[in-house]
Amino acid sequence: MVPMTVRRVIITGGGTGIGRACAARFARAGDEVWVTGRRRAPLDEVATDLGVTALSFDASDPEQVATALDHLPSSVDVLVHCAGGVARTPGPESPGEAARLAAVAAEWRASHSANVLTAVLVTAALAGRLVEGARVVAIGSIAARTGAGSYGAAKAALEAWAVGQARALGPRGITVNVVSPGLTEDTEFFGDTMTPARRERLVAETLTGRAGTPDDVAALVTFLASPEAGHVTSQVVPVNGGAQAAR
């Protein structure tokens, strides 16, 4: 169904997984969609398959974000932050405690950069282009509440950032929310770290008896981006099959 007013939608991390699923839903609704990310190849594939616009840049790099503005729409109705993931950094380069701590610091900086700074910089760059009543949705994680090292801490920081943004942008009718998935398959998130035993344990923690899908998450994102969700803001909304209850 084509909406009465075509919206301009930007999705960071839109080349794979949840970002791609979000792009597909918005494109099917007739919206104009821009997908961004660091890797050109998956973005080009999404652009070809869905008829959206692809733009490659590192959303954690201030200079690249500033340059990308020339290729993004002058007004934005929906901004979805899917960029992020687990930082896979190399271990210590040499023996000793200093090298070990340097590796720890590198991992934590990388997690913050990928999961928090990407949302912070892109939102700051586009804040003046967000229309009255725009929607901002960030993808968090169940790890923010269950604990998962640098990744969980970064997603918890994203939740705190969203509260501040909701307060700052609320007078313009703009909502800011976080969607917090649990186990979600058909993404690049786990890489080669998902063993059968680990999957069985995570599925057993759900009340639905199954893993989530990117489209499960995208469905919630599109609702929060809709006009009907105008009074929902500063919230963390889980989509995890009951593995963790919202309180």
- The model's pTM is 0.91
Residue appearing with tokens 């976080």:
178
pLDDT confidence bin for 88, thresholds 50/70/90: confident
In the block, residue with structure tokens 């009951």: 242
Tell me the two tokens of residue 75.
Answer: 């007004």
Backbone phi and psi for residue 185, each to the nearest 5 degrees, phi listed first: -90, 180
Rg (CA), the chain: 18
151 is catalytic: yes
The yes-or-no verdict on residue 239 having pLDDT over 50 is yes
HEC readout, the chain: CCCCCCCEEEEECCCCHHHHHHHHHHHHCCCEEEEEECCHHHHHHHHHHHCCEEEECCCCCHHHHHHHHHHCCCCEEEEEECCCCCCCCCCCCCCCHHHHHHHHHHHHHHHHHHHHHHHHHHHHHHHHHEEEEEEEEEECCCHHHHCEHHHHHHHHHHHHHHHHHHHHHHHHCCEEEEEEECCECCCCCCCCCCCHHHHHHHHHCCCCCCCECHHHHHHHHHHHCCHHHCCCCCCEEEECCCCCCCC
Share of the chain above pLDDT 90, in %: 73
* Single-letter amino acid code for the residue at 34: W
The pLDDT of residue 175 is 98
Locate tokens 């804040």: which residue? Answer: 127
Mind listing the domains of the chain with CATH numbers? 8-239 (3.40.50.720)
The label of the residue with tokens 């210590």 reads 92
Q: List CB contacts of 223: < 8 A, sequence separation 6 or more.
A: 229
| Residue that wins the pLDDT comparison between 114 and 93 | 114
What would the pLDDT profile of 170-220 be if each residue is shown by its tens digit?
A: 999 999 999 999 888 877 666 676 678 877 888 888 899 988 899 999 999
Of the candidates 195, 215, 127, 113, which has an alpha carbon nearest to the alpha carbon of residue 164?
127
pLDDT tens by residue, 126-182: 999 999 999 999 999 998 888 779 999 999 999 999 999 999 999 999 999 999 998
Which of 26, 34, 57, 151 is labelled catalytic? Answer: 151
Residue 1, pLDDT above cutoff 70: no
The position carrying tokens 């008829």 is 51
- Structure tokens belonging to residue 160: 């705190």
Task: Quote the pLDDT of residue 203.
Answer: 82
Per residue in 118-127, pLDDT tens? 999 999 999 9
